[in-house]
Amino acid sequence: MQLKKAHLLFTSLYLGIPIFAHAQPKTVDGVAAIVGGDIILQSEIEEQYDVFNRQNFGKAVSYCEVFEELLFQKLLIHHAEIDSVTVGEDEVEANMDRRIQQLIMQMGDQQKLEEFYEKSVVEIKEEMRELIHDQLVAQRMQMTVIEGIEVTPSEVRSFYEGLPADSVPLINAEVEISQIVKYPEVSKEAEQEVIDKLASLKERIENGTSFSSMAILYSEDPGSNKKGGEYKGIQRGVFVKEFEAISFNLRKGEISDPFKTKFGYHIVQLLEKRGEELDLRHILIKPKLSQDDLQEAKAFLDSVSSAISASELT
């Protein structure tokens, strides 16, 4: 069966290299395990444990789970070396650039990122390089191992039925629900009010009022309003397409007309352009839902609920 083939394949991976996990209460020189020629240090596990639990937003990850994940990654990397599975420097560099841009967006700008880590972006990238390279190699090796493997529902059932009772994994209780969602629609009048407001702000700015002051007072973008609406070092792929289409076609100092994205309505001013990288300011204002808009959506759902209860809809 295909499931047995997959099991044998993974078993051969585990038996094919030496893994020495120390059983003693105290580790020697901080070494927690050795996978092939790679060492996993106690400090490495502790660092990853802290990272996982900061990023999991309330879902705790155990120390053993982190250790197991590191063992599995080192195992994949070791076999990638044996099977000549590699990733190119261009791929590593592109992945690092994407992650750095995400960090910059989270922090607000590059300067704040460097202040937070007390390192330059170049230094941050160099520290990330080996970690990201290993992650990409492990992912590619894992895909190489499992490609072509097909598992049928009956094979899965047979596998679990063959497990000892004390080895069956615990799965939290689950329920399956269906729902009908009706989002209230903003009225045309509310949208036009926002467009007119932004057009008025643009006119004031062009007549000498500070864009930064207007953004602080009126912008509803929590990521930039306290900084005067400013974003620096923006590259393509960071913002939604409508925003980028306008921003990348502005001239230096030019302010756009009001335009719409899924977040609301914006005006944008281009501050600087360096090839495919921008510094800009923007003001975001979101059209407001009225009580009538909310009541209309509620009335629609009430009518659907009544029709379902009366078996008029199924």
pLDDT in tens, 47-81: 777 766 655 545 667 878 888 888 888 888 888 88
By C-alpha distance, which of 232, 235, 282 is closest to 259?
282
277 three-state secondary structure: strand
- pLDDT of 70 reads 83
User: Does one domain contain both 124 and 9?
Assistant: yes
Same domain, 33 and 90: yes
Domain that holds residue 248: 188-285
pLDDT at 254: 96
CB 268 within 8 A of CB 282: yes
Confidence of residue 126 (pLDDT cuts 50, 70, 90): confident
Least confident of 10-24, 167-181, 274-288: 10-24
Question: In the numeric block, which tokens belong to residue 141?
Answer: 């090796």
136: exposed, middle or buried (C-beta count within 10 Å: 0-12, 13-18, 19+)?
A: middle
Query: Is 249 part of a structural domain of the chain?
Result: yes
Tell me the chain's radius of gyration from C-alpha atoms: 27
Residue with tokens 């932004």: 198
Residues 207 and 278 in one domain: yes
Q: Does a structural domain hold residue 150?
A: yes
User: What pLDDT is stored for residue 264 in this prediction?
Assistant: 94
CB 184 within 8 A of CB 289: yes
Domain boundary pick from 164, 197, 230:
164
Nearest to 209 by CA among 265, 281, 288: 281
Is 283 a residue whose pLDDT tops 90?
yes
CATH number, domain at 156?
1.10.4030
Q: What is the mean pLDDT of residues 285-313?
A: 90
Give the per-residue pLDDT at 14: 36
0.75 surpassed by pTM: no
pLDDT the model gives residue 51? 67
Are 156 and 60 part of one and the same domain?
Answer: yes
Would you say residue 296 has pLDDT above 60? yes
Are residues 7 and 127 both part of a single domain?
Answer: yes
User: For the domain that residue 256 is a member of, what is the CATH number?
Assistant: 3.10.50.40
11-30 exposure pattern, b = at least 16 Cβ within 10 A, e = fewer:
eebeeebeeeeeeeeeeeee
- Say how many domains are in the chain: 2
Return the amino acid letter for 265.
Y
Q: Let me know if residue 275 belongs to a domain.
A: yes
End-to-end CA distance of the chain, in Å? Answer: 41
Q: Provide the pLDDT for residue 218.
A: 94
